[in-house]
Structure 1
């Protein structure tokens, strides 16, 4: 009796199923865990004490919509040799719609979810620092407000938006200018250098709403960069050469990538801002790159 012949169509279907399983497993493993590149540079000083890091934001919900991957990575004790002290200063209560007091309490609950302790988080409500989509805040005003927090809490690093403010919101755009103005007016000291200022890199619009694709592509890029810098000829370069090459500059960009657990925690923090959860913000948190990945550059 002749053995049954194998059906090529069945074999092809089986191969497609295996290929799909392999692809899905790769995607799952890429999303499951977080990743970092040179993030320790944001939490390292010459002193023996933990670094004091201040997150400077403009409105309640900025902290979770734009900065959550970095906050969570910096406060992850398993990833850092010395856990930094995270502080948060929000320069308005977001009172554009008359919900300032509601949003103040929402911010406190969000920061609790993200892990920034009570006593290290503050929100400002001043007439000259109101939530306003048509006007920039004055750098001198921001500097004056920021100064006592930086000095009293011995801040080493300030994290905020860059000159594009992610969304071009004029309040966001004002923050690096105000922080830079403060640093330029602080006296230099031999015992402790001025704080360093880092800005969240604004990406082009076509890259901003790629959602879960971003952590996968970023992790792949980081892996390739690490392999590139492990080449024997790179080991022979001087620090100055590495700092001036294109690949050297890329390797020194601090990057925080959240995994699924980090994204879920950022989403839980955003859920505390119930007054802001209109339909289009659900689209933001579903597809916004910054819920997954933060890339930083030192503001000079």
Structure 2
């Protein structure tokens, strides 16, 4: 059972928002909500649990209880890891709103293994498999499924999300990729989301191990430059004990490159707009 530290103020703020273009809320970890001017609401990788202490220890609040979400049109899953595909975090949103989950095959394999349709009121028709090269529409958004380079995942994808107001790119937990230059040439990315973290020890005592799950400062800027991102929003730096980082250092790494043009440093619960 997911229990929020913040009550219901963030879901109510999202419901009440009436953006001129697209409003984007950072949920911590690699989770985001996008809401368009027409009211279409997308969730990407919302994760609302505490990890698996003492190995993975959540360092930020749980921003809402999934049962508090009354409006959602889709959940986009980037890959099969628990902090991106998680039944207690996401299944109640699907059950409560009738939203559709879009995710690659191995992510939907997690859904099947965990028995989401048995434990929650979810129909098979709400689960849509996607793969690289596909395009689909959810309300006012056009979503392109693209490559992601996450060596720790079995089948990760990224998403290019187009709207009349601009284009958002969510890379999942991807590190730099040869395909990013092609993506940068094909799309005009206004806001790009890239996972960022440090190398650290995960776990306790004899079980602790040196861990590198996310891009470091140089890799994040390399990826952002290849993607030609105007505004870079680093994510995931706040989440796990031992792997947290300071996104402000990216200013120094970005200043001599053409892209990103600007850093969008956001904390959990913050809103940015296109």
- TM value normalised by structure 1: 0.30
Structure showing greater Rg: 1
- Greater relative contact order, per chain length (Cα 8 Å cut-off, separation 6+): 1
- TM value normalised by structure 2: 0.32
Structure showing the higher strand proportion among its residues: 2
Structure showing the higher helix proportion among its residues: 1
